[in-house]
C-alpha cells in the first residue's frame, strides 16, 4: 500500500521540487530483543512493536518539523510512502519480505548472533499513526489523503520481497 498525503505546503524556498529520501525511520530502535528476526513479526515481543512505533513517531515528527522550516507560508507538500492498512504492524503483507530475509540469512550464517544483532531501520505506518503524528507535531494540516493498493498483489509482493531482500543484503555485504 502506498499513502500519498497532500499536506500543508508545496512550495519550498526554491519553488516546487520533489524530495527523494529513504524511509522515515532513520534509526533502529535501541535495545531490541527480537531473537532470530530482522524486523517486527507475530513472534516479536510487544516491547519490540512499541520500540519501532516510538522510533517512527520520533523520526516522523523530526521530519515534519524540518520540512516546516523549508516551506513558504500557504504552500502544500505531497508525501508518498509505503504504509499498511492495518493498525497491526505484524500482518503478513507488512513484514513478509523481512521474514524471508531473516530465514535466508539464518541459513547462511554460522552463528545466529550475527543475525540477532541486526534489525531493519524500517517502519510502514498506517494512516491513523500518520494522522496522529501530523496533529501532534503541529506544523502541518492534513488536507486529504489517498491510499493506493499495489496492482497484482500476490506476484508483485514476491517481486518486492526479492528486491527488498537484495537491497538489504547489498547494504550488509557492501560494494
Query: Which backbone phi and psi does 144 adopt, to 5 degrees?
Result: -165, 165
Model confidence band, residue 35 (pLDDT cutoffs 50, 70, 90)? low
Other beta carbons within 10 angstroms of residue 91's beta carbon come to 16
**Tens digits of residue pLDDT in 5-17:** 444 333 444 444 3
**Tens digits of residue pLDDT in 42-76:** 888 888 889 889 999 999 999 999 999 998 888 88
CA distances (Å), 3 to each of 25, 26, 158, in order?
16, 19, 20
Tell me the whole-structure pTM to 2 decimals. 0.66
Amino acid at each position: 500500500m502506498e499513502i500519498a498525503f497532500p499536506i500543508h505546503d508545496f512550495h519550498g524556498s526554491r519553488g516546487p521540487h520533489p524530495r527523494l529520501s529513504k524511509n522515515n525511520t532513520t534509526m533502529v530502535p535501541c535495545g531490541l530483543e527480537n531473537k532470530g528476526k530482522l524486523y517486527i513479526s507475530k513472534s516479536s515481543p510487544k516491547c519490540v512493536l512499541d520500540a519501532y512505533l516510538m522510533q517512527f513517531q520520533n523520526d516522523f515528527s523530526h521530519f515534519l518539523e524540518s520540512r516546516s522550516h523549508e516551506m513558504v507560508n500557504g504552500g502544500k507538500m505531497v508525501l508518498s510512502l509505503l504504509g499498511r492498512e492495518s493498525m497491526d504492524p505484524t500482518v503478513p503483507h507488512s513484514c513478509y519480505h523481512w521474514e524471508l530475509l531473516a530465514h535466508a540469512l539464518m541459513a547462511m550464517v554460522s552463528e545466529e548472533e550475527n543475525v540477532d544483532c541486526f534489525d531493519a531501520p524500517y517502519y510502514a505506518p498506517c494512516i491513523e499513526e500518520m494522522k496522529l503524528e501530523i496533529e501532534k507535531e503541529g506544523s502541518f494540516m492534513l488536507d486529504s489523503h489517498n491510499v493506493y493498493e499495489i496492482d497484482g498483489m500476490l506476484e508483485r509482493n514476491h517481486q518486492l520481497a526479492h528486491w527488498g531482500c537484495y537491497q538489504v543484503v547489498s547494504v550488509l555485504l557492501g560494494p
